[in-house]
């Protein structure tokens, strides 16, 4: 199929639709005569992990709505149910050992990198205690920008595992709706078990009760409880610069504390030689821990901000100002409605031409973005006609330059 519809099945530019010549190529319609014998191939699983120093962890975050066996109407239909966060995963260790399923439960509903690594702490401790020979970690997950594929997670990836003595770490991102079957199954088993407890007259009012009830079932899934204080006390992500092309990254590699290498496509072609950072697919490097971006510049230092159009961090004081959001490498102006931590709430306009924008109707486009999605602050756009506006010329030139980097 790939050979019939692509110029070069092994070329990244063809697979990603980035090669202009592919658009001009005509492919014949695929027809299969009904009476001819055909030949087909099927993917088979092959065990290639033989080094006992390697562990692979597949993870996923989800929520469980706590329940009572008997509820009055206002509770059943109201919003008074507490929720528990479940961080499910499967640990694979080389050497022929059986996969190990786990789940950490917490009353905190946070799913940001701080919470993710607070959930991973007990898992990493278990790996270190039970498999002291392991020195290489491979993480696999999906790639939501609010959880795993973002600079906060990259910061922890390049710092936290080294505290447990691991030497080399990679984080690989699946495409949407791919690869999450194993951790999804762990979460499904636990949720069904909890629902069965409620159906038999038990009550699960909060996360602690959920943990205790599931623990009493003697399930094969190893359970951990993560108190909310463990998440709040976790080292916060400093104000670091965003990694360019974050949404395209499919593999992040850390071989030195504070340093991360990354590329658009995962590659382990030299794994058997002990090399994780082969130069394939335009491997790039960035420093995350040693060069934090200060959230404010000291007037006494006499040092000007690196970017006069963009403060180091969008804060509450910027509410009401206009900005430009970079979404999928496209610019969208809007005004800031709220700011909390590293997240910014923006009401955005839609584009209807080059430097030409309008308010969407009937539904408004209001969304939370990460701080690094904000390209710059701008003056209020100028009216072109009754419906459309445009960004001031010098600001638009700056925006175009940033998008081309």
Distance of CA 356 to the CA centre of its chain: 31
What pLDDT does residue 28 have?
Answer: 64
| Residue 365 pLDDT exceeds 70 | yes
Phi/psi of residue 49, nearest 5 degrees: -85, 105
Strand partners, 174: none
Average of per-residue pLDDT values in the chain: 84
Mean pLDDT of 31-45: 65
Query: What separation in angstroms does the CA of 291 have from each of 92, 237, 240, 259, 358?
Result: 34, 13, 8, 10, 39
Alpha carbons 374 and 377: distance in angstroms, whole number: 8
Prediction pTM value: 0.65
Percent of the chain at pLDDT exceeding 90 = 45
> For residues 119-143, b (16+ Cβ closer than 10 Å) or e, as one string?
bbbbbbeebbeebeebebbbbbbbb
Domains and CATH numbers, the chain: 1-32 (no CATH), 54-71+81-285 (no CATH), 316-404 (2.30.30)
What pLDDT does residue 239 have?
Answer: 78
The residue ranking higher by pLDDT, 123 or 177, is 123
Residue 72 banded pLDDT, cuts 50, 70, 90: confident
What pLDDT does residue 402 have?
Answer: 87
| Residue 122 pLDDT exceeds 90 | yes
| Residue 41 pLDDT exceeds 90 | no
The residue ranking higher by pLDDT, 287 or 296, is 287
Percent of the chain at pLDDT exceeding 70 = 85
């Amino acid at each position: 199929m790939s050979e019939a519809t692509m110029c070069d099945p092994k070329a990244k530019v063809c697979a990603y639709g980035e090669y202009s010549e592919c658009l001009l190529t005509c492919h014949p319609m695929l027809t299969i005569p009904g009476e001819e014998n055909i030949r087909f191939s099927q993917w088979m699983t092959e065990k290639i992990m033989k080094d006992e120093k390697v562990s692979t962890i597949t993870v996923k975050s989800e929520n469980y709505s706590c329940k009572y066996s008997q509820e009055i109407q206002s509770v059943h239909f109201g919003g008074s149910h507490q929720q528990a966060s479940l961080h499910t995963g499967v640990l694979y260790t080389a050497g022929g050992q059986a996969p190990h399923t786990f789940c950490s439960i917490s009353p905190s509903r946070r799913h940001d990198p701080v919470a993710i690594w607070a959930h991973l702490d007990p898992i990493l401790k278990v790996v270190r205690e039970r498999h002291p020979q392991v020195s290489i970690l491979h993480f696999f997950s999906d790639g939501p920008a609010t959880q795993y594929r973002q600079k906060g997670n990259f910061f922890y990836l390049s710092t936290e595992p080294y505290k447990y003595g691991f030497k080399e770490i990679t984080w690989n991102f699946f495409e949407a709706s791919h690869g999450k079957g194993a951790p999804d199954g762990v979460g499904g088993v636990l949720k069904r078990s909890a629902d069965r407890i409620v159906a038999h007259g038990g009550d699960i009012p909060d996360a602690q009760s959920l943990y205790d009830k599931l623990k009493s079932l003697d399930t094969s899934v190893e359970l951990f409880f993560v108190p909310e204080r463990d998440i709040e006390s976790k080292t916060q992500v400093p104000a670091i610069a965003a990694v360019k092309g974050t949404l395209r990254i499919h593999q992040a590699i850390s071989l030195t504390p504070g340093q991360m290498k990354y590329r658009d496509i995962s590659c382990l072609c030299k794994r058997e030689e002990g090399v994780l950072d082969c130069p394939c697919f335009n491997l790039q490097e960035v420093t995350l821990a040693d060069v934090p971006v200060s959230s404010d510049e000291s007037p006494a230092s006499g040092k000007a901000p690196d970017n006069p159009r963009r403060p180091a961090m969008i804060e509450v004081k910027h509410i009401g100002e206009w900005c430009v959001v970079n979404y999928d490498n496209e610019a969208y102006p809007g005004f800031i409605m709220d700011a909390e931590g590293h997240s910014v709430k923006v009401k955005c306009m839609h584009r209807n031409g080059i430097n030409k924008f309008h308010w969407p109707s009937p539904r408004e486009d209001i969304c939370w973005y990460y701080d690094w999605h904000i390209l710059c602050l701008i003056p209020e756009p100028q009216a072109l006609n009754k419906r459309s506006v445009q960004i001031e010329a010098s600001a638009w030139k700056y925006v175009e330059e940033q998008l081309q980097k």
